[in-house]
Amino acid sequence: MARLILFNKPFDVLSQFTDARSPTPRATLSDFVAVPGVYPAGRLDRDSEGLLLLTDDGRLQARIADPRFKAPKTYLVQVEGEVDDAALETLRRGVALKDGMTRPAEARRIDSPELWPRNPPVRFRKSVPDCWIELTLREGRNRQVRRMTAAVGHPTLRLVRWRIGDWSLDGIAPGTWREG
């Protein structure tokens, strides 16, 4: 029977179990998940938070992570500035990045979600407003959400992956996990 773990990865944690390359210790999955034989199905950047799936089943891992299967991934994104309809429409059509056009995304503006505080907090500037969008992608390029929001003029301040397919972060506190 395949094992699936839903982990709420905190900010500044690597989505791997070891960090042999860094001269200074950095937090890794091994600081939070003491389950032998499971590996991340995909990645989540160190400066991003949220849902990371771990499994001991290679086929399930590939099905979750491989863009060919188009598993939707939903992100809650705090961006700099007030996002207008034109920026949302560009995200929905696809954004031209240096490595080509992105697939169309689902994009909508949302109220500030009730999330845990981030440590360290997101920088706050009185003179520059911010807002939140929900973005659902069906591909997974390197730092794609950040590059897409920057391309439409709204750099990402905070990025939380909330859902992958049918799995979500509901009820999972940062740094904790539950069986899927």
Domains defined along the chain, listed by start: 4-65 (3.30.70.580), 70-164 (3.30.70.1560)
Q: In this model, does residue 66 exceed pLDDT 80?
A: no
| Mean pLDDT value of segment 85-93 | 97
Catalytic residue among 12, 19, 31, 45: 45
Report residue 107: phi and psi, to 5°.
-145, 135
* Nearest residue to 97 (alpha-carbon basis) of 42, 33, 148, 25: 148
In the annotation, is 56 catalytic?
A: no
Q: In this model, does residue 67 exceed pLDDT 90?
A: no
Report the distance separating Cα 148 and Cα 156, nearest Å. Answer: 9
Alpha helices by DSSP H, listed for the chain, are 58-65, 85-93, 144-151
**Tens-digit pLDDT profile for residues 140-149:** 888 999 999 9
Report the distance separating Cα 160 and Cα 158, nearest Å. Answer: 7
Q: In this model, does residue 32 exceed pLDDT 80?
A: yes
State residue 121's pLDDT score: 87
Alpha helices by DSSP H, listed for 9-84, are 58-65
